[in-house]
Chain A
């Protein structure tokens, strides 16, 4: 048991922190930060951040240098994410490219694909979105109906994807499509790389319950792409898609944890400013107990994060136990949202600039409702734990 980082790693932390402090625009990530209303402008701000990260040497920290990465280890990646979390730095716009596509290509891509796609991804020149979910294939991802057929040496894709984050900013999309109707569902799927400016692609925005419009519906109508835009072989897409899910996410654990800690501290601050029955909420035993319980869970999330990282470093991969982490933090965050609204009490309905906390606690309450759904719902995570970890019968 050794939960400390060594001197060299602490030096890297210092370096990362200094860079972040000097480069994050003032107020970024705080509730007072004012986003432009224009979606294109929002995209530009985020893409600029990705470019800055690249120039600062903080993109693809654990990726090989030959593909534009920094050639460091997961430890440095984790440390950077933790420091970025402390300062509430944004994740940028190419989250899906960095978290999912990059590691997938590193593991399953051809040399040509790695050289073609990884450097522009890290530079922020090419933004990626993920074309997995469909209207009838959410939790049951293998039920996708989007199909791809080989016509005259080109793949022709038809179908619809949904909940596609950043599709309206993306240059490329990694798409799962059915390439064999006869094979069992998991076996007839292929992983494709599709340019978003292809003819036949239509992107329609979807607005989330918190008012953000991060995601979209994407329609593919006879979209034709080059034959070689396949990753990991035809009909091997399920294996490719599953191979990297949850892998890089482990490195985000500590970063997420400190963001929750920041939110908690904001909640404390708000609780000090509100009174019930003549005493400040932060002095009231009921709320103290609830906040302490939440704080304990935020800390335990950190312990889980350290364990996950330790597993990643020592064994090189994460097991189904990683489902625990997703289940834990998303459920905890929903509870944080509930408690925030309890603390706000009669101030709860108001989310404008003049409101208590400028709507930051409500944002947790709304935003967390998506977190128990995306990347495998709470119920799917529980099935995974019950079946694959505890061995309960299907």
Chain B
């Protein structure tokens, strides 16, 4: 029984934190917000540190790498990393399940190519053409598409299954192809731009298919990606929230009003304590979920929904409270608090919002509780947890 991190995990956290502290500073983030282009060298740096391919869905006896992945994702949130690291981690994990895609996977992992994921598809469908298949439709929620070399997308290949779900197939899209248009979707979060990709007669070669066409394979893999993606986003939210908490506490130790440090006022202390409670609870939730995923615990899906719903509601609250505790300065564009707030807001909204994940929880907690007891029964309740 040990709920904590071993020395290796702590070392990983430390080295990633130090790296982002130097290479992804507030100035870098601000520059990115203007140019919307991944700073040169950043993805080589991430690749050299071995962070991109940190998840292995097939796993080994040491798990799937989720505990490491949440530590990295937290640091990405803490420093507003302007790179689709989450998509790289999750996308690479998916690509590595397919032996045909070894080459592109290694190009991504080594930093030669930037990978992103199209998280939703608006009716993107592939149909047969003379030379194979063509895709029409729109992919939404594609972070950093403008800078990507490969987009991993989930499209339906018509006729490749009995149901729309079964037809779903993971494919690699080339953003440089002339048969697609990339449009900035104007996300509120300028540190993590979202794009929309419209495909018209986009030629799909069979070599771009991950694993196999349809027959439920794509759907299953995408579901898995969405789940671990939701967990990593929860970790990013926790990273944002923790950073704003400690920056805010630091600020209250320097700012004076009424001749006193504002941190000595109980009203602010109690706000900070509430923020701490939410941050620590979020941490416990993602850590437990990562362990559950790593060990194939039957609790894993539930734990992910707990983590995502809790952090989506409470992480955003913490970042908002950080603005409040900073007072007027916190409401200015120059202050970084709003960047964390917006990043947390965006993260809370995607890959299942609080509502979605609470409904998942309800299916277990309300519809499927074990040991339900008739009111009026004299038998003690026995609940398996």
List residues of chain A with CB under 8 Å of any chain B CB. 1-6, 9, 24, 26-30, 32, 75, 86-88, 257-258, 261-262, 264-266, 268-271, 273, 282, 285, 288-289, 291-293, 295-297, 299-300, 302-304, 306-307, 309-311, 313-314, 321, 324, 327-328, 357-358, 379, 381-383, 385-387, 389-394
- Shortest distance from the beta carbon of A210 to any chain B beta carbon, whole Å: 20
Q: Which residues of A contact B381 (CB under 8 A)?
A: 30, 86-88, 262, 265-266
**Cβ B359 vs Cβ A288 within 8 A:** yes
Any A CB within 8 A of the CB of B34: no
> Mostly helix, strand, loop or mixed at chain A's interface?
helix
Q: Which 6 A-B pairs have the closest CB atoms?
A: A386-B269, A382-B273, A292-B358, A303-B284, A292-B361, A295-B365
- Establish whether residues A379 and B270, one from each chain, have CB atoms under 8 Å apart when the complex forms: yes
Q: Is B110 an interface residue, CB under 8 A from the partner?
A: no
Q: Decide if A300 touches B284 in the complex (CB within 8 Å).
A: yes
Q: What's the nearest-Cβ distance from chain B to residue A38, in Å?
A: 22
The interface residues of chain B lying within 8 Å CB-to-CB of A291 are 362, 365-366
| Shortest CB distance B212–A (Å) | 34
Instruction: Say what secondary structure dominates the interface of chain B.
Output: helix
A389 in contact with B276 (CB, 8 Å): yes
* B residues 269-319 touching A (CB-CB < 8 Å): 269-270, 272-274, 276-277, 280-281, 284-285, 287-288, 290-291, 294, 302-303, 305-306, 309-310, 313
* Residue contacts A-B, CB under 8 angstroms, 12 given: A2-B1, A2-B291, A26-B380, A86-B383, A269-B374, A310-B4, A314-B4, A324-B277, A383-B266, A383-B269, A385-B277, A393-B261
Contacts of B303 in A (CB 8 A): 299
CA distance A282 to B261 in the complex (A): 49
Interface centre among A9, A88, A289, by most B CB within 10 Å? A289
With a CB–CB cut-off of 8 A, which chain B residues contact A382? 269-270, 273-274
CA distance A385 to B313 in the complex (A): 22
Chain A residue with the shortest CB-CB distance to B290 = A1
B264 within 8 A of A: yes
Smallest CB–CB gap between A1 and chain B, Å?
Answer: 5
Task: Please judge, given known A-B contacts A1-B291, A88-B380, whether A310 and B264 are in contact too, CB under 8 Å.
Answer: no
Say whether B67 faces chain A, with CB atoms less than 8 Å apart: yes
Q: Which residues of B contact A29 (CB under 8 A)?
A: 380
Interface hub of B252, B309, B366 (most chain A Cβ within 10 A): B366
Residues in B with CB closer than 8 Å to A270 are 375
Cross-chain contact A296 with B249 (CB below 8 angstroms) = no
CA–CA, A382 to B383, complex, Å?
Answer: 32
Which residues of B sit under 8 angstroms from A324, Cβ to Cβ?
Answer: 276-277, 280
- Which of B6, B268, B309, B375 has the most chain A CB within a 10 Å cutoff? B375
Contact B67 A269 (CB under 8 A): no
Q: Categorize the interface residue count of chain B.
A: 35 or more
A300 to B361, CA, bound (A): 13
Task: Tell whether, in the assembled complex, residue B67 and residue A1 are in contact, meaning their CB atoms are under 8 Å apart.
Answer: yes
Is B355's CB under 8 angstroms from A289's CB?
A: yes
Decide if B272 touches A392 in the complex (CB within 8 Å).
yes
Assess the B371–A265 pair: CB atoms within 8 A.
Answer: yes
Q: Does B91 contact A (CB under 8 A)?
A: no
Among B290, B355, B380, chain A packs the most CB atoms within 10 A around the CB of B380
What's the nearest-Cβ distance from chain B to residue A236, in Å?
30
Cα-based distance from A168 to B276 in the complex (angstroms) = 40
1/0 per residue B1-42: CB within 8 Å of A? 111111001000000000000000000000000000000000
Asked, given contacts A310-B3, A313-B1, whether A394 binds B264 with beta carbons under 8 Å apart, the answer is: yes
Judge if B376 is at the interface, Cβ distance under 8 Å: yes
Residue of A27, A264, A297, A310 touching B378 (CB-CB under 8 A): A27
Tell me which of A4, A24, A264, A389 contacts B380 (CB under 8 A): A24
Which residues of chain A come closer than 8 Å to B290, judged between CB atoms?
1
Residue ID in chain B nearest A386 by CB atoms = B269
From B9, B306, B377, contact of A300 by CB (8 A):
B306
CB distance from A316 to the nearest CB of B (A): 14
Our pick among B1, B264, B294 for the contact of A5 (Cβ within 8 Å) is B1
User: Are B3 and A3 in contact (CB-based, < 8 A)?
Assistant: yes
State whether A265 touches B373 (Cβ < 8 A).
yes
B176 within 8 A of A: no
| B218 beta carbon closer than 8 Å to chain A | no
B336-377 with Cβ < 8 A to chain A = 355, 358-359, 361-362, 365-367, 369, 371-377
Within the assembled complex, what's the spacing in Å between the Cα atoms of A292 and B313?
A: 13
Contact with B365, one of A269, A285, A292, A392 (Cβ below 8 angstroms): A292
Cα separation A357 to B88 with both chains bound (whole Å): 51
- Interface status of B183 (Cβ within 8 A of chain A): no
Answer yes or no: B263 CB below 8 A from chain A CBs: yes
Contact A3 B252, beta carbon cutoff 8 Å = no
Residues A306 and B1 in contact, CB atoms below 8 Å apart: yes
Q: Which of B209-265 contact A (CB under 8 A)?
A: 249, 252-253, 261, 263-264
Closest to B9 in A: A1
From B302, B362, B376, B385, contact of A288 by CB (8 A): B362
Contact of A296 among B270, B309, B376, B380 (CB under 8 A): B309
Return the contact of A2 from the options B2, B309, B383 (Cβ within 8 A).
B2
Q: Is A269 in contact with B375, judged by CB distance below 8 angstroms? A: yes
Q: Given A2-B2, A386-B273, A307 and B263 touching (CB < 8 A)?
A: no
Are A392 and B361 in contact, with the CB atoms below 8 A?
Answer: no
Which of A32, A271, A358: most chain B CB closer than 10 A? A32
**Known A-B contacts A86-B383, A307-B3, A392-B252; A32 and B281 likewise in contact (beta carbons under 8 Å):** no
Q: Shortest CB–CB separation between residue A67 and chain B, in angstroms?
A: 26
Q: How far is the CA of A74 from the CA of B89 in the complex (A)?
A: 39
**Min distance, Cβ A352 to any Cβ of chain B, angstroms:** 14
A residues in contact with B2, CB < 8 Å:
1-3, 310, 314
* Contact between chains at B378 and A26 (CB < 8 Å): yes
Q: In angstroms, how far is the closest chain B Cβ from the Cβ of A194?
A: 36
A295: chain B residues within 8 A (beta carbon): 361-362, 365-366
CA distance A147 to B302 in the complex (A): 55
CB pair B358 A300 closer than 8 Å:
no
Give the CA-CA distance A285 to B380 in the complex, in Å: 29
Whole-angstrom CA separation of A257 from B381 in the bound complex:
14
Bound Cα distance A236, B119 (Å): 63
* Bound-complex Cα distance A299 to B67 (A): 19
B264 to chain A, nearest CB (A): 4
Q: Which residues of A contact B359 (CB under 8 A)?
A: 285, 288-289, 292
Query: For residue B1, which residues in chain A have a CB less than 8 angstroms away from its CB?
Result: 2-6, 9, 75, 306, 309-310, 313
**Contacting pair B273 A390 (CB below 8 A):** yes
Are B264 and A292 within 8 A (Cβ)? no
| Set of chain A residues within 8 Å of B378, measured between Cβ atoms | 26-27, 30, 32
* Bound: A243/B361 CA distance, A: 40
B268 proximity list for chain A (CB < 8 A): 392
- Contact at A32–B361, with CB atoms within 8 Å? no
A139 to B354, CA, bound (A): 37
